[in-house]
Structure 1
């Protein structure tokens, strides 16, 4: 039994419906809405918002999960915006995402930029237009903005772009991935911990857990780029290798990258053990890497 998957399955359709319906109610320009929904409704694993919700549930089992859909949804809006922009011709120049044409291929690059911009900015409306105390809202905005901005996800993307074709050290690749992929995952867990009123000690270990999870997520993705299929990934495989991207597989090889992944997953489990959350829904999220 995987508690995380069961938790996801329990709320996934309701969460997806919520995202769609909220945007339909709140966004009035039809072409902007069309572009936002095209990428948001394409699905995806929703790992980040459900990590936020699982963290909250692990800390406060009696929480009404649906009350926090708007907070979790803000994370997914940011993630979806980043995918739209990453796929642009000026960035990764991808044709497919989540099994369908990328946003700029379906519409135009200009419309894709605006759809991404709209998702990015709308996320912060959701973080402030809710019933949480003002102090909590402020902290949530700060966490998400910091993780998505110039010292987080964008910094990682910049490092990735300027070093494509070069070979970074293991330490440099880890730093890149901690920002490009890990920052938003860490933010999701931090936001769940904040809403769950975690103590400073619990927050410390959850942050370390989330950093390990984010790094494991990227290594696993690097491995799938080599060993997976297009139908499995929803996008072209082997592209990172061909373009000289700095991945763990390129740097270490397949078997050592798999060994590194296993070690990081074990470290993440240990962090949960430290705060007695190793039997929680959150712990079962690590089975994603099995």
Structure 2
């Protein structure tokens, strides 16, 4: 049995360091093969995977100098009137001047004022639509279409001192009248009565208007209130119990002061 001959190997050459470094000669560079089996570099993370940071808050950063303000929205287009509609009223000349004119208080609606259903007599007086005759002149009311209107003044109170109170709203009579606590609706007139003897109470009587009707109510006065309806005997009012009165009625406060309810055009 023969032994195979050993495989000859290439002799290893020892590289001697050059003793002439600094004379312009370079050291021999060992040969290296290119590296081809390294894994590819990782791809950069996508924008969704990268953490986000807020550089500044929008309300804390000044607006850029060249930023122009947003244009205001234009006026909404006016709706077109339907075909055949009558033209609207022409604008009054000098609109700014007209808007500065003083408005009469008589043209302003009263806060809390009631509305009533009315009819007119031949003389033009307003009366309840259900009435057969005019409440002012007594003429028969012709057939007509009733209208709903703000309640007109229902008459006047003729005071025994010569004054008159228009019943365009209710009223409180007394030496020191004031609106009762918890009062709702239209604000009443306050009628102050002079009474050195103080027979009349500070809050003596309330006159209330309910649609076409007039009622009086004693407010718990000390010396009471009496009502005399036309052709009737005097009746003493119970405190806080309203009673309807009609034209020609007389109301007596504490036996020292009175007024008469009258209807006026």
TM range (shorter): under 0.3
The structure in which a higher percent of residues are strand is: 2
The structure where helix makes up a greater share of residues is 1
Length-normalised TM-score, structure 2 = 0.24
Q: Which has the larger radius of gyration?
A: 2
Query: What is the TM-score of this pair, normalised by structure 1?
Result: 0.23
